[in-house]
Amino acid sequence: MGTAPDQLCKTFTQIIGIGAVEPLAGACETAALRSFPLRIQGVSADLLIAKGLGFSFQFPLDRQGKALCIGQINVRQQELQRVIRSLTRYPDIQIASTPQLFLSSRPRVVSINIQALTKPLRFARIIRQVLTETRIRTTPVRFQTGNQVCKQIATTIRSNAQAFQVNGSCIPRIQRTRPSFILGRRNNSFNNFEYAITPTIHGKPRSYGKSLCLARLWVFQHEIQTVVSRIRKEQLQLGNVSANFLFSTPRSYYITYQTIDDPIRFARKSARIIQGLHG
């Protein structure tokens, strides 16, 4: 029999109804891909950080059964106002930010970051209603352990990086361990260094040639100048520097960058960019 947190997480995921539970400590998180086609720098990009949905709540719950609940909804530009109108009908939900994370995308995609202090199942029902009202369609994702090439890319970035594969792309992740708070509650979701490597030519699942390489870094305010200057020094295309969630302590931001390059060369550059940025 599952524990109470396991059962709550399962019910949360079932209500939202979008698919996979992501591997995560200290939180329950569910994720799926939007079903529309997306190309970034001319390369097909079925990637969570580019066109995904993700929703989570944090453990433990307080005495009222409430938790920090956060989410990210990637929408096409023409969907933005419709989704915002739907979200603002619910007083529990705060819209934190709406950045465009990656450049040269067709169509243009904007990420809506939301947050709430509420009961997780209430949050899940609100999200299900919003997705239904706005006719957002998704496709499920399945996380697989990265193959040897993907693991090599991940450990080149940092020795403790995890390596996953989703839809043929390599997804290295490094979870930040420095305490991060939103609305005064500890947060364990989305606060990572995440990368996505997608071959420009598909059909070789065990090797990566020239690839679309994307990065989304969760950084703290005092790290921004260092990271941006390193991205420019490595001659990578800076995408965006944007605050992600409201009332975060320390103040936190997303920095994105991208290129089409050899994945190992990208990994070495990425290792230099985050050098000295501790959990």
Per-residue model confidence as pLDDT tens digits over 167-186: 889 999 999 988 899 999 99
The span from the CA of 169 to the CA of 56, in Å, is 23
**CB contact at 8 A, 200 and 40:** no
Sheet containing 248-249: give its strands across. 185-186, 181-182, 248-249
Per-residue model confidence as pLDDT tens digits over 112-123: 999 999 999 999
Q: What is the mean pLDDT of residues 81-101?
A: 96
Residue with tokens 């709540």: 57
Q: What is the mean pLDDT of the chain?
A: 92
Distance from CA of residue 3 to its chain's centroid?
Answer: 27
List of residues 6+ apart from 76 with CB closer than 8 A: 36, 107, 108, 109, 110
DSSP string of 87-110?
Answer: HTT-TT-EEEE----SSSEES-EE
User: What is the predicted pLDDT for the residue at 206?
Assistant: 46
Q: What is the mean pLDDT of residues 195-208?
A: 69
Residue with tokens 């993907």: 150
Q: Is the pLDDT of residue 23 over 90?
A: no
Q: What is the mean pLDDT of residues 188-199?
A: 93
**CB contact at 8 A, 145 and 112:** no
Predicted confidence band of residue 201 (pLDDT cuts 50, 70, 90): low
> Beta strand pairing status for 162-166 and 27-34?
unpaired
- How many residues make up the chain in this entry? 279
- DSSP code at position 188: -
Written as six digits, the tokens of 243 are 């605050």
Structural domains of the chain ordered from first start: 4-139 (3.30.70), 144-273 (no CATH)
**CB contact at 8 A, 263 and 211:** yes
Q: Which residues of 187-217 are buried (b: 16+ CB within 10 A; e: fewer)?
A: bbbbbbbbbbbbbeeeeeeeebeebbbbbbb
User: What is the predicted pLDDT for the residue at 143?
Assistant: 83
The span from the CA of 140 to the CA of 200, in Å, is 23
Predicted confidence band of residue 203 (pLDDT cuts 50, 70, 90): very low
Above pLDDT 90, what percent of the chain?
Answer: 83
User: What is the predicted pLDDT for the residue at 5?
Assistant: 77
Per-residue model confidence as pLDDT tens digits over 229-269: 999 999 999 999 999 999 999 999 999 999 999 999 999 99
Closest CA to 279 of 174, 149, 145: 174
Predicted confidence band of residue 208 (pLDDT cuts 50, 70, 90): low
User: What is the predicted pLDDT for the residue at 26?
Assistant: 84
List of residues 6+ apart from 265 with CB closer than 8 A: none
pTM, entire model: 0.92
Q: Is the pLDDT of residue 279 over 70?
A: no
